[in-house]
Chain A
């Protein structure tokens, strides 16, 4: 018998402009798919924020607002999870160069919490640098079972 969790259906496959408004669009799309899949309200909030932060990173740090570059958003839904992939066309970055936002010396830094929050609000977080350019971020959020 096929594993249903592996038979994903693409719900959203779209290219977004390198604008901050694209974060709103992506957040709403992901939340709509997750709501239709039966995710609970708090999980919707966490997924929405993780997607927002990912798209903001893609627009601001990846594509640097370049109107010629797009953000590819792919949202897949399966029985027990939502998978969201956000890909930019930027130069990529080294994950190990990020500061620890929880370190005492960084607590009062104005920025640097985006990826930390994405990790905190999702069940899986994968990031990879693409060749010749671009960064792909994949988020997975599992549906919580209501007891």
Chain B
């Protein structure tokens, strides 16, 4: 199953719940389009909930990085929530765990946005 996205507003933060696989093709383009639309609508505080993401390949990692840099380039913030062990391991071996702000608690993550 390729990635499915749904978004909800929590205060001034948009939480995107992602599920499925973020892999080259439909999965990664769904994520790219979702982030692009949010930024185009003026959203600058984005929390990506990856708790239901079963699989990410190198292209999916690239899309996470792209989402992060696109947000930053538009004075926005993009943070990650609820990483599975596999996704956490992937971010660690690619040294990206130090790039992203990662949370396990949604309320705490929402409060962290300034």
Contact = CB atoms under 8 A, between A and B. Distances in A.
A102 B91 CA distance: 11
Interface residues of B, number: 21
B58 A114 contact: yes
Interface of B: 23-25, 55, 57-59, 61-63, 65-66, 68-69, 86, 90, 93-96, 99
B95 to A, nearest CB: 5
Contacts of A49: 55, 57
A18 to B, nearest CB: 14
Interface of A: 20, 23, 45, 49, 52-53, 56, 60, 101-102, 107-111, 113-114, 116-117, 120
Contacts of A113: 58, 61-62, 94
Contacts of A53: 57-58
Main secondary structure of the interface of A (DSSP, over half): helix
Contacts of A120: 93
A108 B57 CA distance: 16
A136 to B, nearest CB: 20
B86 A107 contact: no
B96 A45 contact: no
Nearest to A116: B94
Contact of B94 (A45, A101, A110, A111): A101
Given A23-B24, A101-B94, A107-B99, A56 B57 contact: yes
B36 to A, nearest CB: 14
